[in-house]
Structure 1
Amino acid sequence: MDEETRALLTLVLAGGGLAARRALACARPCVAAALDAGPVAWRQAGCSPGQQRRLAAPDAGALNDALRWLQQADHHLVAASDERFPDLLRSIPEPPLALFVHGDPATAWHPAIAVVGSRSPTPGGRALAAEFSTGFCQAGLAVTSGLAAGVDAAAHQAALAAGGVTVAVIGNGPDLVFPSHHVALQREIATRGAVVSEYPPGTPARPAHFPARNRLVAGLTVATVVIEAANRSGALITARLAAEAGREVCALPGSVRNPRAAGCHRLIRDGAALVEAPAEVMALVAPLLARALPDLQSRLQAPTEQGRRAHLPAHLASEPDYQTLWKALDHDPIPMDSLIMHCGLTAARLSSMLLAMELAGIVVCEHGRYCRNPGFPTSTAS
């Protein structure tokens, strides 16, 4: 393993406040140089005496465990300075020093919605988590959650069942599973998406880790949707952190007699968007994603060229609404109100459909007007 990886692991394993370790990492051209600078530089960066001791004499067992984990297939350590580190996560108040990723690191770049909520949802709440997650995946978005019992698990499972992308952010080391009955689910997410943690291998789940985990769930996504949350639910922490990071916060209302809906009602009173369908969430985030789309397509290597040569993706072409929208589009940009008149669909529904088609590389948006991608053949899906 190279010297820089060892140095980064040493910095992660030093623990303690992130700010001082981040300042130290940024003070030199690389982390290895920052550690080589010695105790005076560590102290100047603000490292505590405990952090300085651990930097001078790292835990050899923990370091070797982390190195062994990284030697396995599909195991990655992504530093904050790495081009694979998600830009959205860089902009939160307390970005991690690095991410341990089991799976494909590029998955964390995929435009995503966080779906969070109660660990003991009602059957209706679990069904709503599945419905929203399925809708997001069908529109080409990823679903991110915390792999907890209840709403989190339902969201991940629905995303996988829909053939979509899902990211699990966990509050323990990437080699451990919490709760323990999610072994198979965590393995499947790692195989088809990514399991992400800022904690090194061997780190057990601790109560203090979960608010920190929640900030990553919020930071990796453009919006957080809360489905059934009591007044003291951890999902409310995720929602607050999402708002602080400048992301959309949405909540589903429920019965006033359901204590699991009380937190959602509080969020709505405090300014969260009241949503009743996945399309309403996608309409909220569509402008942000449209602005970011060129960079996202480049970064994710979106199938623009393939899409230009092929028919509409199967999951779009099989729906009559998409066929209707495709026929209404032309090579000249068309405003949204004209598309609404031509298609007879709501603005929210059209926004989510257009977003899915943009992500597939078959539609482009110019100054709020939509047209077919000039390179996409007019003979397809006609």
Structure 2
Amino acid sequence: MENYFREWIALSELPGMGPGVLLRLAAQNGFEPVALLGLGAPQLEALSLPAQTIRHIHAFQAGQWPDNDYLETVLHWLQSPSNHLISFTSDLYPSLLKQISDPPLLLYISGDPDLLHMPQLAIVGSRSASRSGVSLSRSFASDLTRAGITITSGLARGIDGAAHMAAVALSKPTVAVLGSGLLNIYPRQHQRLADDIVRQGGALVSEYPLRMAPLPHNFPRRNRIISGLSAGVLVVEAARRSGSLITARLALEQGREVFALPGALNNPQSHGCHDLIREGATLIETSAQIVEPLASLLGSYCHDEKRAMPESIKLTDVEARLLEQIGYELVTLEQLIGITGLDAAELLPQLVAMELSGYIENTPDGYQRLI
């Protein structure tokens, strides 16, 4: 990890103020977040900080907090090349997550941190999912993974676990955001799944200290990270009082796409999805209906790299034929499926690669050839 290891851990655990408040306070007063911990008593009082916040800052300055044993635990954990600690100011911090109102100050990551910069879709839903819901979660996760989109979820039982397992079954990476510390996997029955996720190039993510217990209030908080990392959220099954609806509504606040699967009227696990659809979420029946609106958001990822027009066309035979079929007039994904005979999962990776290379443009009305 970069400099200020102890400072960022202290900031992330500072009581009395959330990350959004701290970042706004720093911006308003012209100092870096870590500088707060070095301010003198008069300056701290001038900021009108809560008393418990000031007490912890004084304890930090006296070398009494954070706990030295915990700092040693983190340093030992970081000796593994698969473990990472990323602060808000790091170049490795996901740019899309920075855009939310209260981004976590610190991310503990097991696995590949670069994966957090790749195109992601969150799939969430009930822990008490029906067999149909589990099957749909696996099916959509498989299709979208094949289309080049990374599936992000919460490692919970039911819909979340099924989505992660679908990616693992394809030997593809997936992102799991935990409501506990990374040395305290929850639910315990998903320890092997968590290990498989890391082994296959995926990532486990948490803002909580390594041994943090899965406290009930952690999970609504972690949902903002699931939606914040993702270009969109698909809700497969959800009751009316559900953490999945929290994720979906956070996604709407963050300007992300929200999709919902309709279900049987007599299934209480479908009522939350129906409410979302009435509130403006997109009703989804196929993975292609998710792929097309997400494609225009892919430019938010990959460290905001700028694309240059190619000096010469260097396409595979398949891509060259596809470029001819796109032509210079707008064509939708559904039209390309009909023209080429390929499905969305086969087409989208080629379209994304061609867009990133500057051969085509993805507009709200369809794809258009540029060269």
Matched residue, 2:284: 275
Q: Secondary structure at the match of 1:127?
A: helix
Among 28, 50, 53, which residue is 1:51 paired with? Answer: 53
Task: Measure, in 1, the Cα distance between the counterparts of 2:269 and 2:333.
Answer: 39
What are the residue-to-residue correspondences of 1:216-235 with 2, within 5 Å?
216-235=225-244
The change in CA–CA distance for 1:341 and 1:193 in structure 2 (over 3 A counts) is: closer
Q: CA 1:36/1:120 → structure 2, altered by over 3 Å: closer, same or farther?
A: same
Deviation by residue 1:300-322 (Cα, 9 ceiling, x = unmatched): xxxxx9xx97858xxxxxxxxxx
| CA displacement at 1:232 relative to structure 2 | 0.9
Tell me: CA distance 1:215–1:339, structure 2 relative to 1, closer, same or farther (3 Å): closer
- Return the match for 1:148 from 146, 149, 156: 156
Q: Deviations over 1:111-163 (max 9, x none)?
A: 10000001011111111101111111111110000111110000001012123
Conservation of the 8 A alpha-carbon contact between 1:230 and 1:262: yes
Alignment partner of 1:232: what SS?
coil
Secondary structure, aligned partner of 1:159: helix
Q: Name the TM-score, length of structure 2 as normaliser.
A: 0.84
Matches within 5 A, 1:216-365: 216-289=225-298, 291-292=299-300, 327-330=321-324, 333-337=327-331, 344-345=338-339, 354-361=347-354, 364-365=359-360
1:349 deviates by: 5.3
CA distance in 2, matches of 1:225, 1:340: 20
Tell me, in whole angstroms, the C-alpha distance in 2 between the residues paired with 1:266 and 1:348.
34
Q: Is the CA contact 1:147–1:168 (under 8 Å) kept in the aligned structure 2?
A: yes
Shift of 1:204: 0.9
Cα deviation for residue 54 of structure 1 reads 1.9
Contact 1:335 1:370 in 2 (8 A): yes
* CA deviation after TM superposition for structure 1 residue 32, in Å: 4.6
Task: Tell whether 2:165 aligns with 1:164.
Answer: no
Sort the Cα spacing of 1:270 and 1:74 in 2 relative to 1 into closer, same or farther, 3 A.
same
* Alignment equivalent of 1:98, drawn from 98, 103, 106: 106
The letter for the 1-side match of 2:329 is P
Q: Which amino acid aligns with 1:21?
A: L
C-alpha spacing 1:365/1:6, structure 2 compared with 1 (3 Å): same
CA contact (8 A) 2:21 2:102 kept: no
In angstroms, what is the RMSD of aligned CA positions? Answer: 3.2
Structure 2 CA distance for aligned equivalents of residues 123 and 137 of structure 1 = 21
Residues 9 and 66 of structure 2 are in contact (CA less than 8 Å); yes or no, is this contact kept in structure 1? no
Give the one of 197, 200, 207 matched to 2:209. Answer: 200
Following the alignment from structure 1 to structure 2, what is the Cα–Cα distance between the partners of residues 203 and 128?
32
Shift of the 46–360 alpha-carbon distance from structure 1 to 2, 3 Å rule, reads farther
Establish whether residue 185 from structure 1 lines up as the match of residue 196 from structure 2.
Answer: no
Please point out which of 62, 69, 72 is paired with 2:77.
69
Cα distance, 1:41–1:99 mapped onto 2, change above 3 Å: farther
- Aligned-partner Cα distance in 2 for 1:4–1:33: 10
SS at 1:335 equivalent: coil
TM-score, normalised with respect to structure 1: 0.82
The letter for the 2-side match of 1:52 is: I
Give the fraction of aligned pairs with identical amino acids, expressed as a percent: 36
The answer to whether the 8 A contact 2:326-2:336 is kept is no
Q: 1:348 to 1:20 in 2, by over 3 A?
A: farther
- Structure 2 letter corresponding to 1:344: G
Q: Which moved more, 1:34-43 or 1:143-152?
A: 34-43
Residue type of the alignment partner of 2:361 = E
| 1:245 to partner: Cα distance | 0.4
- Residue in 2 aligned with 1:319? none
CA displacement, residues 11-51 of structure 1 (integer Å, 9 cap, x when unaligned): 11223321443346555665554322233444444532212
Q: What residue is the counterpart of 2:62 in the other structure?
A: none
CA contact (8 A) 1:130 1:155 kept: yes
* Aligned mate of 1:129, from 128, 133, 137: 137
Segments of structure 1 that go 5 or more residues without pairing to the other structure are 300-304, 313-322, 375-382
How many angstroms apart in 1 are the aligned matches of 2:322 and 2:57?
Answer: 62
Distance 1:227 1:343 in 2: 25
Secondary structure at the aligned position of 2:331 is classed as: helix
Comparing 222-231 with 45-54, greater Cα deviation is found at: 45-54
After TM superposition, give the deviation of residue 353 of structure 1 in Å.
5.2
Distance in 2, Cα, partners of 1:311 & 1:115: 33
How far 1:74 sits from its partner (Å)?
Answer: 1.7
Contact 1:112 1:221 in 2 (8 A): yes
In the aligned structure 1, how far is the partner of 2:166 from the partner of 2:211?
29
Residue 332 of structure 1 and its aligned partner are, at CA, apart by 8.5
- CA deviations 1:86-135 (Å, max 9, x no partner) are 11111112111121111111111111000000101111111110111111
Contact 2:330 2:368 (8 Å CA) reproduced: yes
Whether contact under 8 Å (1:328, 1:339) holds in the other structure is no
Higher mean alpha-carbon deviation, 109-118 vs 193-202, is at 193-202
Deviation of 1:64 after TM superposition, in Å, equals 3.1
Q: Is the 8 A contact 2:234 2:258 kept in 1?
A: yes
Aligned-partner Cα distance in 1 for 2:290–2:231: 10
Maintained 8 Å contact 1:136/1:278: yes
- The number of residues matched between the two structures is 354
